[in-house]
Structure 1
Amino acid sequence: MRLSKSMLLSIFCICFLCAEIFAQNFEDIKRYKVSFGLTTRNNEQLIALRSFSANNQKYLLLVNPETLDTKIDLASNYNTRSLQYSNVLAIFKNTAYIKSLEAAAAKDLQLQNAGIDHAIPGEKGITLTIDLCPSHKALDRIIFQSVFDEFKKTEQQAPLAVSVSGKWMLKHQDDLNWLKSLVKNKELNITWVNHTYNHEVNKLPLAENFLLAPGTILDVEVLENEKLMLKNGLTPSVFFRFPGLVSDKKIVERIEAYGLIPIGSDAWLAKGQQPNSGSIVLIHGNGNEEIGVKDFIQLLKMKQADVKNKQWLLFDLRRGLEKEFE
């Protein structure tokens, strides 16, 4: 029996779709580790950040140093030369990726809000970041629905960044699947940010709290969270948000040694900080920050006319830093 061209094309599309879905959902991840490398394919140069095995194949987490986009791909698709982190900094020093790392490190002495807290200066709009810390409460879906409803008039996919913690993912599978459906249906464009696995918080002073708490195992907080993201079909970005926005110089350096760019905020709405043009706005969408959610909804209402006239936009965190450091 000979198959027609249309039938062959249909079979190919189905196989390709299945392969794509299969490649982006990893149940059995082994040997997940930091593994820097220079990868090349068809004259394209990317930076390998992680390597791991799954489904009897070796995979790489890759970043485009110019656009800051990440992806998972088979290691066999690339020629790879292993690098030390210092080599990555030197070879790609003129790219947006390395310039972003350097800009974040310039504020590493701050106990709170280290990292990049402002993007796309001079532009009319904000970068929206939504943190999902561990919580027993349901996701504030109204935030995401309001963004979609307001910006669908002017943008195909409104961009935002979601900082996701491991313990939130474990307890909120339905909410996570709902967020993934928004991406799948091209309603929102979400950049997934590492917000640690445990997101521990105690009653000690900030200098001994969150990631600075005694006994913190950073490999667990960073790498186990990335593994859980991958198991849930999320592609980790190169961005990292400190729990409580709390850090010190040493831990900023350690986070950057994972190849991650710390992201702060100059407009944490629940603290009364007002956004300016180019602000990185922070709200919590885990049900624990009613004030911040209300303030954001009110902000959207105030900006309705500007949104309609494209005078107030949402900006992709990656595109903002790419533009700032081009």
Structure 2
Amino acid sequence: MKQLCLFILLIGSTIIAKAQTNYLNISNYKVYYGWAHHFPQDWMIIRQFENSGKSYLFLVNPQTLETKIDEAGFYEVKSMTYAVARAYFRNTPYIKAIDRAEKQSKNIQDAGIESGLPKETGISLTADLCPSHRPLDRVIFTDIYQQFQKVETPVPVALSITGVWMRQHQNDLQWLKQLQKEHEIYITWINHSYNHRVSAKLPLKENFLLEAGTDINYEVLETEKAMLKNGLLPSIFFRFPGLVSDQQLVYKITNFGLIPIGTDAWLAKGQASQPGSIVLIHANGNEPVGVNDFINLLKSKTQSIAKKQWLLYDLRESVDEEFESDSSKVH
């Protein structure tokens, strides 16, 4: 299990190094589905764009949930509708995860994938970066590295990032990228919408992305573009602002080829983590209670961490292995 995770992380590190060339001249960025092949791997295409006169594809490995950006000319490509692409890759962990998220789409809060691998002793950590005037809670990242550096490096963490946070916190973003470059942490970047709109007055069913006038195409695609322009590699995960959605919104997100990620352990709300939990904290300076709870959780697991009996898991691995195909064939 962990050997597979490390192998995936090494592959991801190579791809991220390639993606570090920021795409500053993006044009014609659009949803585009299809099949791409470069021996020996089949990929599902979910986006297409141009940058500095070259055509690029945003690709997903449907078996491992790994993503990458690459030049279209390197691949044999077949354009498909979304329905046809989902049918073609229907037996893969990627499409099975989308199917599961859609089946859990009726809740007004916390729709989507809420937990990872219940058989594992450890958690998948997700930290949200909603718009905030406060600086990044850097102590989260320094503490997890100090706790895990002798047993698990780079330490996997998933960050749900908004476009506004990226724009307003360039120093903090560069600091996170440097940690990843130095292999202290490995970040899975989750789309958390661009603006993260919220009203203190509106009920949940009319709030966040459910607020009237919300342009969901802008909220999703503009965040991906901002990631690419900042040298970040988008994942295929999406977290709803406030964890608020309805069934129609969930299907809008899955129609972008994205997997909604919820949580079964929002620490600041007193939800205790369990084996395999997808833990939620906010790292944007707005939730000191959740940050302190997580740091205390780490301290309580010090001996278990040292014995490799309690680890942090890559969110992709947690979701991927839950939906592993019985067959290596994709159609």
Same-fold status (TM-score > 0.5): yes
Q: Which residue of 1 aligns with 2:6?
A: none
| 1:21 CA drift (Å) | 5.4
Which of 283, 286, 309 does residue 284 from structure 2 map onto? 286
Question: What CA deviation, in whole Å up to 9, does each residue of 1:231-279 have, x standing for no partner?
Answer: 0000100000000000000000000000000000000000000000000
Question: What CA deviation, in whole Å up to 9, does each residue of 1:148-207 have, x standing for no partner?
Answer: 110111012110100000000000000000000011010001000000000000120000
Which of 44, 47, 68 does residue 65 from structure 2 map onto? 68
Structure 1 CA distance for aligned equivalents of residues 128 and 308 of structure 2? 26
Q: Which residue of 1 aligns with 2:273?
A: 275
Which of 195, 198, 213 does residue 198 from structure 1 map onto? 195
Structural mapping, 1:1-326, within 5 Å: 24-202=21-199, 203-326=201-324
Percent identity, aligned pairs only? Answer: 53
Of 295-304 and 80-89, deviating more is 80-89
Structure 1 CA distance for aligned equivalents of residues 66 and 247 of structure 2? 26
Residues 81 and 313 of structure 1: CA distance in aligned 2, closer, same or farther (over 3 Å) = same
What TM-score, normalized to structure 2?
Answer: 0.91
Question: What CA deviation, in whole Å up to 9, does each residue of 1:276-302 have, x standing for no partner?
Answer: 000000000000001000000000000
Q: After TM superposition, which residue ranges in structure 1, 4 or more long, deviate above 2 angstroms?
A: 20-24
Structure 2 CA distance for aligned equivalents of residues 67 and 42 of structure 1? 16
Q: Which residue of 1 aligns with 2:328?
A: none
| 1:223 CA drift (Å) | 0.2
Cα RMSD between the aligned structures?
A: 1.1
| 1:88 CA drift (Å) | 1.6
Structure 2 CA distance for aligned equivalents of residues 159 and 74 of structure 1? 27
What TM-score, normalized to structure 1?
Answer: 0.93
Structure 2 CA distance for aligned equivalents of residues 181 and 299 of structure 1? 26
Aligned amino acid, residue 63 of structure 2: E
Q: Which of these two proteins has the greater Rg computed from alpha carbons?
A: 1
Are the counterparts in 1 of residues 161 and 189 from structure 2 also a CA contact under 8 Å?
A: yes
Are the counterparts in 1 of residues 19 and 232 from structure 2 also a CA contact under 8 Å?
A: no
Question: What CA deviation, in whole Å up to 9, does each residue of 1:110-148 have, x standing for no partner?
Answer: 000000010011110000000000000000000011111
* SS of structure 2 residue aligned to 1:88: helix
Are the counterparts in 2 of residues 24 and 234 from structure 1 also a CA contact under 8 Å?
A: no
Are the counterparts in 1 of residues 20 and 232 from structure 2 also a CA contact under 8 Å?
A: no
Structure 2 CA distance for aligned equivalents of residues 190 and 178 of structure 1? 12
| 1:43 CA drift (Å) | 3.2
- Structure 2: 5+ residue stretches without partners: 1-13, 325-331
Structure 2 CA distance for aligned equivalents of residues 253 and 156 of structure 1? 36
* SS of structure 1 residue aligned to 2:107: coil
Aligned amino acid, residue 112 of structure 1: Q
Structure 2 CA distance for aligned equivalents of residues 75 and 23 of structure 1? 18
Structure 2 CA distance for aligned equivalents of residues 25 and 89 of structure 1? 30
